[in-house]
Amino acid sequence: MSTTKTEPRTTPASFHDNPFDPDASITVNLSDDNPATVSLPSLNPTTAKPRIIGVTELVLRDAHQSLLAARMGIEDMVDTCEDIDKAGYWSVECWGGATFDACIRFLNEDPWERLRTFRKLMPHSRLQMLLRGQNLLGYRHYDDMVVDKFVEKSAENGMDVFRVFDGLNDPRNIDQAMKAVKKVGKHAQGTICYTISPVHTVEGYLHLAGQLLDMGADSIAIKDMAALLRPQPAHDIIRAIKETYGNNTQINVHCHSTTGVTMATLYAAIRAGADVVDTAISSMSLGPGHNPTGSLVHMLEGTGYRTDLNMECLGRVREHFARVRPKYSQYETRVLVESDIFRTQIPGGMLSTMELQLKEQGAAHRRNEVMAEVASVRADAGFPPLVTPMSQIVGTQAIFNVLLGRYEKLTTEFADLVLGYYGRTPGDINPDLIVQAQEQTSKTPLCGRPADHLAPEWEDLVRTTKELEGSNATTQDVLTYAMFPDIASKFFTTRTQGPINVGKTQAQLVAEKESRLSGDLTPVAPITYNVIMGGRRLAVKVERA
Amino acid sequence: MSTTKTEPRTTPASFHDNPFDPDASITVNLSDDNPATVSLPSLNPTTAKPRIIGVTELVLRDAHQSLLAARMGIEDMVDTCEDIDKAGYWSVECWGGATFDACIRFLNEDPWERLRTFRKLMPHSRLQMLLRGQNLLGYRHYDDMVVDKFVEKSAENGMDVFRVFDGLNDPRNIDQAMKAVKKVGKHAQGTICYTISPVHTVEGYLHLAGQLLDMGADSIAIKDMAALLRPQPAHDIIRAIKETYGNNTQINVHCHSTTGVTMATLYAAIRAGADVVDTAISSMSLGPGHNPTGSLVHMLEGTGYRTDLNMECLGRVREHFARVRPKYSQYETRVLVESDIFRTQIPGGMLSTMELQLKEQGAAHRRNEVMAEVASVRADAGFPPLVTPMSQIVGTQAIFNVLLGRYEKLTTEFADLVLGYYGRTPGDINPDLIVQAQEQTSKTPLCGRPADHLAPEWEDLVRTTKELEGSNATTQDVLTYAMFPDIASKFFTTRTQGPINVGKTQAQLVAEKESRLSGDLTPVAPITYNVIMGGRRLAVKVERA
């Protein structure tokens, strides 16, 4: 990160409304394996007292987003909410961009109604959402007033914890949303997106954490969307934050499990001082999803750290989703572990998209050239993390470079990225590309906060939404329209028909399987039969009418 | 463990023919994330120098045993052996009881020929096998001479490392096999089977390690077949062994991944001083199998520990098995993570067997009673680890207790277990049961080493084998017959027909799927067709001849 250095904060962030006092005296069930006669070094030399680790349950948002393309309907969640509510999680993540999108795009479900349902069914839990900073839940920057309204309405409808991030880690894209969360008195979680590159250092992440705390962050999340965070860097970043900003700075760690490494990362993170970690109930875990909640509980046995989760509740939640998951098997990702990303730097989803693009161009054989070009384009673009939308922007430009010649043509999006329209990239951008992008697009480079260049838009959004068929003209509807104008317009017209469950019931699955197995009894191609009629044997050709 | 205490060894076991000198100075690629300006505590305070961690690759034995019911044929392994050989593993596990059994039972493949093939294709690797102590690869105790012959022939045919274990951790069941391995000058790896119970303590495991070292063990394996080993106990056991018997005592750690916990266990084990860890190539990993090899490599980045594996070779091995695995999908276990075993103490395989038994008795509704009874029976039997054959013995007795009344009838095997015929159990046995077993079976309790009570049997085995149709009368054939008399007798008669591959080729899988989808074109039930012949329209009923 190329941001300028500020002085470290002297006042530590407080552990806001956290029921788990890290300094409380807690009785830990020490393992029977603790030896009586052998002198062993303590695993946990810096913490004299046992410590409760908070857990954020991901099953209602990121788990089904990562495993089942965000398709799970509210109908398949409501029955288990009581057990989730009573399990003792630090928070329950249940709302975010892809699930909001899927609600109105595929499920004919009002995402605000979903939020209110969660609020009603889980009265004792902190509800948590993922917010893309100035992008909110959409794919562009919004004017500050839209940001304020969105946060206000989310809080009003039941949201407690806002995890605010920006894909480029540009704090200027996070600032307004953090302010809005503070204004409504909710938990503002500032987020560090973790990635690996020559310009991403512990020092840089530490500096970003300081900027987030200066915005009033109640906690710092380390978000590892590509499962690249290994134990040692996790330890280093967490120790650095705790030592610089105080041990009471709450740190939440969010890892995916794609690379098979991150269960050890959670272990190292907790030992380094992480306060809350994210997991998903085991029947909705692993692969491109997350580490299993139950495994985390058991992993900590005897370490001097423990969760405070109710295993009976966890067992019922696990069984619930074990029953539900097969309904959505058509949306399942099959990849179980994928550690090659450490070498190639290309996440699996990005790779398959690029392969498809190449195939469509009849250039599938140039895959390896494109893979090498990705690294080069990413470097030229200042090492953005390869997540949406950066992965698409960098991948497509790499394909252009291989097929047409290096930077013969810049895509519109790549030019925008280079000119600063997405925000400040972590490293410096190749200056030749900035010149070229200006020439190609006639746009000027943007140096300030991207959202400062936006015109006010709230009144227009209100006006347009009011005119839409089926719109209730509530602020929520205006916000839904603002996020996804095209699909929201369509959704409003069908909303009254109620939610569609795109999963398949057991009966449907069985019926489909049987119909596949028995086949259509009418032959599809002409077949010659021997037919006996009135004692005469005839060869008869039969075909479908 | 209730064995009497011996004095700790004063001479540390040597790190026999290990190419990785732990004290050698090695250049480690330190992570770019290491901060320059922040003072961080070292993750690795006791080891000043970076250290190479050895890896045992499990894909050729335990991985396909755990994931594909040991069904993989040699044909699907040979093409990747060169890459495995060049990858730089500490050893390659490739032989053991279930795969030997599957060779002659399902694959018409001579397991000794398989071993020789591996030896030829992997000339630079240590080949490793799992040996059930006095049981060798079979399901009963063998006379010492059979043990000696088996080890001698295994070594002669190419085996280098013998991991010797006993399901009860009774050293008397391990002793003869260890002696035999030492005699042929191969690597004798003494094994601790890890389980959890009130009588299993770090001190007990430490004591067993001492007994194994006294037998001349070149290394100590901690074998965690049920994925119960969590980070803290792993750390405690390893530290205890290293501190008591010297830092040069080589420790190998074998964990399954069933519970989702053990990647963190490997991390803690390595930090505690483990020298070699077992993993399986990622395309044949996780679930009831093992942690992924590639993920281990990446996990250690920056920690001061590293493997010395060639990632190019690993990539090709991974791709190879990614292609092969779908052929065996009919044998796949579907369970991905199962952490409930920490609570129930009942491994998944044992639970499904018991449920089946109960169903057959029309008593499926008594499942929960039986589950509670298992814990009680296990305690009465001195807390044997619930692995084959103890899981079946304890499970069946628990069912008898629930259906017929507690200990109304002892099964033959449970009576044998109680009377010491399997060896010494970890804890004390309920004395009432010993009396009852004596009365029921008229057998006397057995106090000494079980194998001391066996009559010599080698000459008989030789004589019988020579008379079998198709037998070559080699020592290998005698040993194959000794392990599995019935299936060996049958195998000898079909051996010349050569190996059967029970996997399905891509073409077969496609053909099957197509046939399922299109259905058999001949209708299975009578169907009435309208048939037009010579301009006449007739209703004709057609049925399969």
The pLDDT tens digits for A335-392 are: 789 888 888 878 777 887 888 889 999 999 998 899 999 999 999 999 998 877 888 8
Position A534 scores a pLDDT of: 60
Interchain contact, B521 vs A527, CB within 8 Å: yes
Residue A545, pLDDT > 80, answer: no
Q: Which of A31, A240, A529 sits opposite B35 (nearest CB)?
A: A240
Q: Which of A35, A265, A517 sits opposite B203 (nearest CB)?
A: A35
Position A334 scores a pLDDT of: 72
Say if CB A70 and CB A102 are below 8 A apart: yes
Position B525 scores a pLDDT of: 54
| Lowest model confidence (mean pLDDT) among A34-38, B177-181, B192-196, B475-479 | A34-38
Position A411 scores a pLDDT of: 96
Q: Which of A233, A286, A533 sits opposite B336 (nearest CB)?
A: A286
Say if CB A236 and CB B40 are below 8 A apart: yes
Q: B434: distance to nearest CA of chain A, Å? A: 27
Interchain contact, A34 vs B285, CB within 8 Å: no
Give B240's contacts in chain A (Cβ within 8 Å). Answer: 35, 38, 40
- Tell me which residue of A229, A158, A157, A222 sits closest to A193, measured CA to CA: A222
Q: Parallel, antiparallel, or unpaired: how do β-strands A219-224 and B54-57 relate?
A: unpaired
Residue of A39, A258, A261 for testing the chain B interface, max B β-carbons within 10 Å: A261
Position A340 scores a pLDDT of: 83
Q: Which of B41, B200, B244 sits opposite A239 (nearest CB)?
A: B41
Position A515 scores a pLDDT of: 64
Q: Dump pLDDT digits (tens) for A35-45.
A: 222 333 334 43
Position A532 scores a pLDDT of: 62
Q: A420: distance to nearest CA of chain B, Å? A: 26
Residue of A235, A256, A339, A543 for testing the chain B interface, max B β-carbons within 10 Å: A339
Is the pLDDT higher at B29 or at B527?
B527
Q: Give A395's DSSP letter.
A: H
Give A267's contacts in chain B (Cβ within 8 Å). Answer: 231, 264, 267-268
Residue B24, pLDDT > 50, answer: no
Interchain contact, A46 vs B43, CB within 8 Å: no
Q: B244: distance to nearest CA of chain A, Å? A: 8
Q: Is residue B278 classed as helix, strand or coil in its secondary structure?
A: strand
Position A16 scores a pLDDT of: 31
Say if CB A94 and CB A61 are below 8 A apart: yes
Contacts of B465 (CB under 8 A, 6+ apart): B471, B473, B477, B478, B481
Q: A333: distance to nearest CA of chain B, Å? A: 14
CA separation for the pair A286, A314 (Å, rounded): 17
CA separation for the pair B242, A116 (Å, rounded): 57
Position B532 scores a pLDDT of: 62
Is the pLDDT higher at B489 or at A344?
B489
Is the pLDDT higher at B33 or at B364?
B364
At B344, is the pLDDT very low, low, confident or very high (cuts 50, 70, 90)?
confident
Q: Which of B33, B291, B520 sits opposite A260 (nearest CB)?
A: B291
At B471, is the pLDDT very low, low, confident or very high (cuts 50, 70, 90)?
very high
CA separation for the pair B322, A335 (Å, rounded): 11
**Is the previous residue joined to A389 through a cis bond, with omega within 30 degrees of 0?**
yes
Bridge partner list, B509? none
Give A339's contacts in chain B (Cβ within 8 Å). Answer: 282, 292, 294-295, 297-298
Give A33's contacts in chain B (Cβ within 8 Å). Answer: 196, 200-202, 232-233, 236-237
Residue B18, pLDDT > 90, answer: no
Alpha helices in B259-310 (DSSP H): 262-272, 293-299
Interchain contact, A38 vs B240, CB within 8 Å: yes
Residue A446, pLDDT > 60, answer: yes
Rg of chain A over all Cα atoms, to the nearest angstrom: 26
Interchain contact, B267 vs A267, CB within 8 Å: yes
- Tokens, residue B348: 């998944």
- Tell me which residue of B303, B292, B31 sits closest to A271, measured CA to CA: B303
Alpha helices in A215-302 (DSSP H): 231-245, 262-272, 293-299
Is the pLDDT higher at B505 or at A218?
A218
Give A198's contacts in chain B (Cβ within 8 Å). Answer: 32
- CB pairs below 8 Å between A and B: how many? 238
Query: A224: part of which helix (H) or strand (E)?
Result: strand A219-224
Position B32 scores a pLDDT of: 35
Residue B211, pLDDT > 60, answer: yes
Section B187-193 average pLDDT: 97
Report DSSP letters for A507-533, one per residue: HHHHHHHHHHHH--SS-SS-EEEEEEE
Name the phi and psi angles at A266, rounded to 5. -60, -40
Say if CB A389 and CB A374 are below 8 A apart: no
Interchain contact, A202 vs B34, CB within 8 Å: yes
Residue A156, pLDDT > 70, answer: yes
Q: Dump pLDDT digits (tens) for A471-523.
A: 998 999 999 999 999 999 999 999 999 999 999 877 777 777 666 555 444 44
- Looking at chain A, the whole-number percentage of residues with pLDDT higher than 70 is 85
Interchain contact, B286 vs A286, CB within 8 Å: yes
Q: A332: distance to nearest CA of chain B, Å? A: 14
Residue A243, pLDDT > 50, answer: yes
Closest chain A residue to B194 measured between Cα atoms? A33
| Lowest model confidence (mean pLDDT) among A537-541, B217-221, B310-314, B316-320 | A537-541
Mean pLDDT of chain B: 87
Residue A12, pLDDT > 50, answer: no
Section B194-221 average pLDDT: 97
CA separation for the pair B242, B246 (Å, rounded): 5
In which region does residue B540 sit, left (phi positive, over 0), alpha (psi from -120 to 50) or beta (all else)? beta
| Lowest model confidence (mean pLDDT) among A44-58, A226-240, B65-79 | A44-58
- Tokens, residue B322: 């990614």
Q: B461: distance to nearest CA of chain A, Å? A: 44
Say if CB A261 and CB B295 are below 8 A apart: yes
Give B368's contacts in chain A (Cβ within 8 Å). Answer: none
Q: Parallel, antiparallel, or unpaired: how do β-strands B536-542 and B527-533 relate?
A: antiparallel
Interchain contact, A202 vs B299, CB within 8 Å: no
Interchain contact, B299 vs A264, CB within 8 Å: yes
At A46, is the pLDDT very low, low, confident or very high (cuts 50, 70, 90)?
very low
Interchain contact, A517 vs B521, CB within 8 Å: no
Residue of A31, A33, A541 for testing the chain B interface, max B β-carbons within 10 Å: A33
CA separation for the pair B209, B212 (Å, rounded): 5
Interchain contact, B206 vs A35, CB within 8 Å: yes
- Tell me which residue of B313, B270, B276 sits closest to B294, measured CA to CA: B313
Residue A10, pLDDT > 90, answer: no
**Is the previous residue joined to A288 through a cis bond, with omega within 30 degrees of 0?**
no
Mean pLDDT of chain A: 87
Q: Dump pLDDT digits (tens) for B415-455.
A: 999 999 999 999 999 999 999 999 999 999 999 999 999 99
Residue B388, pLDDT > 80, answer: no
Say if CB A478 and CB A461 are below 8 A apart: yes
Give B196's contacts in chain A (Cβ within 8 Å). Answer: 32-33
Section A310-321 average pLDDT: 97
Section A31-38 average pLDDT: 32
Closest chain A residue to B541 measured between Cα atoms? A531
Residue A459, pLDDT > 70, answer: yes
Interchain contact, B282 vs A516, CB within 8 Å: no
Position A286 scores a pLDDT of: 94
Section A271-285 average pLDDT: 97
Interchain contact, A285 vs B260, CB within 8 Å: yes
Closest chain B residue to A205 measured between Cα atoms? B33
Interchain contact, B206 vs A302, CB within 8 Å: no
Give B36's contacts in chain A (Cβ within 8 Å). Answer: 203
Interchain contact, B230 vs A261, CB within 8 Å: no
Residue B5, pLDDT > 60, answer: no
At A7, is the pLDDT very low, low, confident or very high (cuts 50, 70, 90)?
very low
| Lowest model confidence (mean pLDDT) among A180-189, B41-50, B122-131, B440-449 | B41-50
ipTM of the complex: 0.84
10 Å Cβ neighbour count for B134?
27
- Looking at chain A, the whole-number percentage of residues with pLDDT higher than 90 is 73
Residue of B33, B277, B528 for testing the chain A interface, max A β-carbons within 10 Å: B33
